A = this chain, B = another copy of it.
């Protein structure tokens, strides 16, 4: 699997949904329906990349903002930076640790262990501001469910990656990251291998699941109804990869 691979083309194929995903929807049914509209049908070796929003919606992770009573502290923070105090309140409720809270930006560690703005709580691309959408409760498990159901229905094993857009320290702009993985390894480790000059590769663990998420991010536009895409031609490694593999353990995190 890790031999000097003859490079091959990669294709990223958008999968458009005509229907809105609603709480309680059978996501795999909707997905198989949407896949019928793809010019190139799903084939062995394909990876499915799914924006978390449709997963969260199907799982009913919507919160009516009218029901949220923000604390005095959330209200003060929101007032200062012209934010919605209810979203701040929800973000804190969804967090297990506040990493930074400065200049209107709230960076938290979610219960999954992800470090991101507002615990991933989002009001855009939901329903115009009435509801907030939370991350899936256990996004690895959500990926595993889709993976398992697709296997049952298609008799083929397709890795599934669920993504969200995260900000980064030091670098501008958001990029997509993997927050749920099933059916493949999240990292490719080249550490025991040698480069073409025979020199051992020292620090060479590639976060392929995040790179796949980014590649999908180029196709799954924020403004188009394309919450899924197929990545074809990538030599993934089968395995029990998890989004947790992509979280740096506290002990090796220089930025705690």
Question: A residues engaging B (CB < 8 A)?
Answer: 2-14, 16, 100, 102-103, 105, 107, 115, 117, 123-129, 165, 167-177, 186-187, 190, 193, 195-208, 210-215, 217-226, 234, 245-248, 252-255
Contact = CB atoms under 8 A, between A and B. Distances in A.
A200 to B, nearest CB: 7
Given A9-B11, A199-B126, A254-B103, A217 B224 contact: no
A190 B221 CA distance: 11
A175 B211 contact: yes
A1 B101 CA distance: 35
Contact of A171 (B5, B8, B247): B247
Given A100-B254, A170-B247, 11 more contacts: A10-B218, A126-B199, A165-B204, A169-B253, A171-B207, A172-B187, A172-B207, A175-B210, A195-B222, A210-B214, A214-B214
Q: How many copies does the complex hold?
A: 2
Contacts of A255: 100, 169-170, 255
B197 A254 contact: no
A223 B4 CA distance: 5
B173 A207 contact: yes
